[in-house]
C-alpha cells in the first residue's frame, strides 16, 4: 500500500472519528432547548457533554492539519473553494465554546436561555456546513487545469452536497438522543427516548438517500451500492428499530455510531483515488498521487505511528472516567458540575 493511500485512509478515519465523537456533542446541543423544560434541565443536558466536547474538536483540527501536510494541493483547492463556509464553521465553534463557558456566569434565566439557543444554532451549522463541503468533493466543483476553483458560492450548494449536510445533521441528532439515553435519568431520559424514535426514522431515510445518491454521483458508479453503503443502511435501520426499545440504549448508540462511520467510509471510498472531482473536466480532478507531498508523508507516518495510539488511549480513558449518568441535583446546588 502506498503512502498516499495510507494517508487517504487515515484522513478518512479522522473525519469518521470527528463525526462519531462530535456528533453526539452537536446532537445534544441542538436538542437542549427542546428537551430541557427549564434552565436546570438544560443545565443537566449541558453536563452530559461537559468532559468531552473540547477534546472531540481535536479530531477536526487534526483532519485539517493532516490534509494540509499530506495533500497540500487538495487542502489549497478545498479551503479556497469553501473559504466562506469554513469561516462560518470556525465562527460557530468559537461561539459554541464561548456559550459553554459563559452560560453559567450569570443566574439570569434569560441569559442562560439565550446562550442555549446560540449553542443550538452553532451545533446545527457545523455538521451541516462540513457535510456540504465533504459532499462537494464527490459531487464535483468547477476546477481548472491549474487546480484552481473557478466557481462561486452557488456552485457549493449543489443538491447532493446539501443532502450530505442534512444527513450528517440527522446523524448528529441520532447520536445525541442515543447518548442522552445513556447519560441521563428519569424524565429527561424518557424524552430523549421519545425524540430518538422520531429522529431515527428521519435519519435512516436521509442516510439511505445520501448513500444511494453517492453511488450515482460516482463517475465510475456501479448499479448496486458498495459494501460500505449496505453496512451503513443496515446500521441505520437497526438503530431505528433499537430506538423503539427502552432497554437497548447501548446497542442503539453502537448502531448510530456504526452508521456514522460507514457513511463517511462510503463517501471517501467512492471518492478514491480522487480527492476532489472537477465538474469542468474530469481530467482536472485532483487525485491522491498528484496532490500529495512525498517528504511530509514519510515524516508524518513516523509521527502518527507514535502519537495516534497515545491519543486513542487518552480518549478512551476520558470516556471511561466520566461514564456515569448525570443525576438531578438539589435545588440549592447550581447545575454546573459533572459527576465523576
**pLDDT tens-digit map of 155-179:** 898 899 999 999 999 999 989 998 8
Which CA distances in Å does 243 have to 158, 179, 197, 238? 32, 12, 5, 9
Interatomic CA distance for residues 253 and 183, integer angstroms: 11
User: So where are the chain's domains?
Assistant: 3-321
Tell me: pLDDT of 253 over 90: no
Interatomic CA distance for residues 126 and 26, integer angstroms: 8
Across 197-211, average pLDDT:
87
pLDDT value of residue 228: 61
Interatomic CA distance for residues 4 and 273, integer angstroms: 9
Average model confidence (pLDDT) across the chain: 83
> Is 330 or 237 the better-scoring residue by pLDDT?
237
**pLDDT-derived band of residue 28, with 50, 70 and 90 as boundaries?**
very high
pLDDT tens per residue, range 50-72: 777 777 888 888 899 889 888 98
Which CA distances in Å does 288 have to 143, 253, 268? 16, 34, 12
Spatial CA neighbour of 188 closest among 22, 326, 340, 21:
326
Interatomic CA distance for residues 335 and 331, integer angstroms: 9
CATH of domain 3-321: 1.20.1630
Q: Beta strands of the chain (E only): which ranges?
A: 274-276, 286-287
pLDDT value of residue 250: 78
**pLDDT-derived band of residue 226, with 50, 70 and 90 as boundaries?**
low
Interatomic CA distance for residues 232 and 266, integer angstroms: 8
Interatomic CA distance for residues 239 and 260, integer angstroms: 11
Q: Which long-range contacts does 96-105 make (Cβ < 8 Å, 24+ apart)?
A: 96/29, 96/53, 96/122, 96/123, 96/126, 97/54, 100/46, 100/53, 103/46, 104/43, 104/334, 104/335, 104/336
**Cell numbers of 306, please?**
507514535
Interatomic CA distance for residues 124 and 194, integer angstroms: 20
Bridge partners (DSSP) of residue 141 are: 278
pLDDT value of residue 119: 93
pTM for the whole thing? 0.85
CB 7, CB 70: distance < 8 Å: yes
The SS3 of residue 183 is helix
Tell me: pLDDT of 23 over 50: yes
Amino acid at each position: 500500500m502506498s503512502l498516499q493511500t495510507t494517508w487517504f485512509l487515515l484522513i478518512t478515519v479522522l473525519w469518521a472519528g470527528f463525526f462519531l465523537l462530535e456528533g453526539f456533542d452537536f446532537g445534544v446541543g441542538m436538542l437542549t432547548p427542546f428537551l430541557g423544560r427549564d434552565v436546570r434541565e438544560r443545565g443537566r443536558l449541558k453536563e452530559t457533554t461537559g468532559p468531552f466536547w473540547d477534546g472531540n474538536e481535536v479530531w477536526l483540527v487534526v483532519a485539517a492539519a493532516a490534509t494540509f501536510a499530506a495533500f497540500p494541493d487538495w487542502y489549497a483547492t478545498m479551503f479556497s473553494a469553501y473559504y466562506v463556509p469554513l469561516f462560518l464553521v470556525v465562527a460557530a465553534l468559537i461561539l459554541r465554546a464561548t456559550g459553554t463557558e459563559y452560560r453559567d456566569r450569570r443566574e439570569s434565566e434569560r441569559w442562560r436561555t439565550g446562550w442555549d439557543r446560540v449553542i443550538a444554532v452553532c451545533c446545527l451549522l457545523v455538521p451541516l456546513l462540513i457535510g456540504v463541503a465533504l459532499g462537494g468533493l464527490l459531487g464535483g466543483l468547477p476546477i481548472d487545469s491549474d487546480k484552481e476553483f473557478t466557481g462561486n458560492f452557488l456552485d457549493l450548494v449543489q443538491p447532493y452536497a446539501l443532502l450530505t449536510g442534512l444527513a450528517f445533521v440527522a446523524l448528529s441528532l441520532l447520536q445525541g438522543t442515543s447518548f442522552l439515553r445513556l447519560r441521563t435519568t428519569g424524565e429527561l431520559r424518557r424524552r430523549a427516548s421519545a425524540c430518538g424514535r422520531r429522529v431515527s426514522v428521519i435519519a435512516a431515510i436521509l442516510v439511505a438517500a445520501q448513500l444511494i445518491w453517492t453511488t450515482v454521483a460516482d463517475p465510475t458508479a456501479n448499479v448496486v451500492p458498495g459494501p460500505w453503503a449496505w453496512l451503513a443502511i443496515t446500521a441505520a435501520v437497526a438503530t431505528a428499530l433499537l430506538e423503539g426499545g427502552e432497554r437497548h440504549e447501548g446497542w442503539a448508540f453502537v448502531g448510530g455510531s456504526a452508521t456514522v462511520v460507514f457513511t463517511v467510509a462510503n463517501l471517501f471510498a467512492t471518492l478514491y483515488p480522487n480527492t476532489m472531482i472537477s465538474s469542468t473536466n474530469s481530467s482536472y480532478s485532483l487525485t491522491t498521487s498528484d496532490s500529495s507531498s512525498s517528504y511530509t508523508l514519510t515524516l508524518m507516518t513516523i509521527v502518527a505511528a507514535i502519537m495516534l495510539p497515545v491519543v486513542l488511549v487518552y480518549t478512551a480513558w476520558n470516556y471511561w472516567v466520566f461514564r456515569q449518568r448525570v443525576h438531578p441535583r438539589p435545588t440549592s446546588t447550581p447545575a454546573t458540575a459533572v459527576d465523576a
